Copies of this chain bind each other. A is one copy, B any other.
Amino acid sequence: MPQYKAPLRDFRFIINELLDAPAQLAQMPFYQENETADADLMNQVIEEAARFVEGELLPLNQVGDQQGCHRSENGDVKTPDGFKAAYQKYVQAGWPALDADPKWGGQGMPHTVANAMLEMMNSANVAWAMYPGLTHGAVSALSEVGSPELQALYLPKLISGEWTGTMCLTEPHAGTDLGIIRTKAADNGDGTYAITGTKIFISAGEHDLTDNIIHLVLARLEGSPEGTKGISLFLVPKFIPGADGTPGERNGVVCGSLEHKMGIHGNATAVLNFDGAKGWLVGEINRGMNHMFIMMNAARLGTGMQGLGIGEIAYQNAVAYAKDRIQMRAEPRVTPDQPADPIIVHPDVRRMLMTGRAYNEAGRALALWLALALDTEAHHPIEAKQKEAADTVALLTPIAKAFMTDNGFNVAVQSQQVFGGHGYIAEWGMEQYVRDARIGQIYEGTNGIQSLDLLGRKVLMDGGKKLQALAGTLQAFAEENEDDEAVGEYITQLGKAANQLATLTMLVGQKAMDSGDKGQDEVNAVAVDYLRYFGHVVYGYLWARMAKIAAEKVAAGQDLDGFYQAKLDTAKFYFDRLFPETKSLSQTIKAGGESLDFDLRGMFGFEPEHA
């Protein structure tokens, strides 16, 4: 059975040494009041979370994959054996409320801590983690734009985990393009709405873990305009609660079927049929798309965390296998009493392992950096600091989502490869990671959509302001450290790539402007490569910073367990073997969309109706 040990040492390194998070959080009145910014407390909570995750969630991962979820004829859904008991323990221990607002029963811990727990949950059992995970989006949307009545009735139960939430966006004919959804809302005239339509791909859409499920649903109110400007957000509970919060009448929303999927079998992906279901407006009429993005941004970082979590457990198991599996003999032999040596002696095996390690550790640093930025955005006393943090979150969220899920999938594949033929066999667990990781690249906005969000919206439409702010941060770090003996070489590489990123940005922007009607095509043609280039610049920056800290510890003789030397060695691997991907990306971005502008008829037999 797969093994997993939470990367506690690395959490401490990133939270305390790289980000100096406790000191930063201590400046914020919210955490001062709740006394939740203490380094020891944060560490204790993470260690306690690790015990829960390793003890309760990890053992259910394979059984969840094998059993999947089952729907009975009446639309009820049974989750895999053990899922409900684990969820009850999770609720009893208060974990759902970890980073929620004490006003609604939350514990007021920093997102930084919750993010560490989320990574661990995703490592141990991503399908299980999605049940409480989807609730976060509902809580965010209700907290920000819900009426006081809705907040009072729903937030305490969602935050305690007594109920879970969902996000109901996709329809059979409308995924990326939510402007064409067909689900309708009719005004009942009593402050409620009748919601009718079919939603698909609803993660955790129906299950037996809780007494109630709260759906947040995009629908078009009768008489609203077409397209995205006519969409509103509604809250539709599975059971309609009384004023005291007791679930009452069954609402008109039923699970019509469950999808048969490549992975995340333990999570119920539901088709939900809304048949005049009673709903309550969340936020303003026709502002549903804006409100939805509150949910989506949280979900996007959360999806990135799935890539990281799966990458981490896949990596850990590949290391364990590579130390255990003996095959061929090294020169000199390292286990001379055995007929062969462990495959970890082979550089090509190490290359695969180090690819996982380098991506995982940088991903963890990015995720915790963003979590701290979310805390800062929400609670910093200085508005300019809030704004700066918000810009960082906006700019880097698509990278966290797409780069981390792409890397997570690739790390799962490489880790599977370490197992040879055994990696293809279900009982070893590695092939499940590949299947489970694959969805992260697709849902919550495909990684192609993330790339367009980054290059189109966050960089070009913004006039490059957010990009320049980040470049300023990199520049300051570079100037401070370019003569550093330990990391100067990395700074040089990073500086060149950052400059090249600026050049490429201008190049694409110019091409888009010069292309008139076809401008968007130039952006569309290179966005995916651009995001990947940008991701390497961000990871390169984080690796250079981590290497600098590690080098100082090593030089000071404070590296008792080899942790800091391993950081330095991993940084070197990253810059030697992974960061050079920027060389190719630079060239393909420069090549642009020219090779994608061809006759669709000859190439694909596609005949436009209107030429």
A interface residues (Cβ-Cβ under 8 A, vs B): 170, 173-177, 180, 200-201, 259-263, 319, 322-323, 326-328, 331-337, 339-340, 342, 344, 346-351, 353-354, 357, 413, 416-417, 420-421, 423-427, 431, 434-435, 438-439, 441-443, 446-448, 451-452, 517, 520-521, 524-525, 527-528, 561-563, 565-566, 569-570, 572-573, 576-577, 580-584, 586-588, 591, 593-606, 608-610
Contacts and interface: CB of A to CB of B under 8 A. Distances in A.
A177 B442 contact: no
Contact of A584 (B173, B573, B581): B581
Contact of A604 (B200, B353, B441, B451): B353
Contacts of A596: 347, 350-351, 354, 573
A413 B591 CA distance: 23
B595 A348 contact: no
A262 B420 contact: no
Given A348-B528, A424-B442, A562-B599, 13 more contacts: A261-B426, A323-B606, A332-B610, A334-B610, A335-B608, A344-B600, A420-B446, A431-B438, A562-B602, A563-B602, A566-B599, A570-B603, A580-B584
Given A334-B609, A588-B577, A421 B201 contact: yes
Contacts of A334: 608-610
A342 B602 contact: no
A603 B567 CA distance: 8
A417 B443 CA distance: 10
Contacts of A609: 334-337
Given A333-B610, A438-B424, A577 B565 contact: no
**How many copies, total?**
2
Contacts of A339: 180
Given A584-B583, A609-B335, A426 B347 contact: no
B602 A561 contact: yes
A326 to B, nearest CB: 8
A442 B417 contact: yes
Contact of A328 (B177, B354, B426): B177
Contact of A347 (B177, B326, B563, B593): B593
Interface of A is mostly: helix
Contacts of A520: 331
Given A175-B420, A348-B451, A576-B591, A262 B604 contact: no
A342 B333 CA distance: 59
A176 B81 CA distance: 38
A444 to B, nearest CB: 10
Contact of A595 (B335, B573, B584): B573
A566 B603 contact: yes
28 contacts: A175-B327, A176-B327, A260-B426, A260-B427, A261-B425, A262-B434, A322-B604, A323-B606, A331-B520, A334-B608, A335-B610, A336-B610, A344-B604, A351-B528, A351-B596, A413-B438, A417-B446, A424-B439, A431-B435, A565-B598, A566-B602, A566-B603, A569-B599, A576-B591, A577-B588, A580-B584, A582-B584, A583-B587
Contacts of A177: 327-328, 340
A441 B417 contact: yes
Contacts of A342: 606
Nearest to A201: B421
A331 B517 contact: yes
B442 A420 contact: yes
A226 to B, nearest CB: 9
8 closest A-B pairs by CB? A562-B602, A262-B431, A347-B525, A334-B608, A580-B587, A576-B591, A576-B595, A260-B426
B595 A354 contact: yes
Given A525-B347, A562-B602, A602-B563, A180 B569 contact: no
A274 to B, nearest CB: 19
Contacts of A439: 424
Contacts of A524: 346-348
B588 A576 contact: yes
Nearest to A172: B422
A328 B581 CA distance: 32
Nearest to A351: B596
Contacts of A442: 417, 420-421, 423-424
Contacts of A351: 525, 528, 596
A57 B326 CA distance: 40
Contacts of A570: 603
B569 A448 contact: no
A335 B607 CA distance: 10
A173 B175 CA distance: 47
B448 A348 contact: yes
Contacts of A413: 438
A433 to B, nearest CB: 11
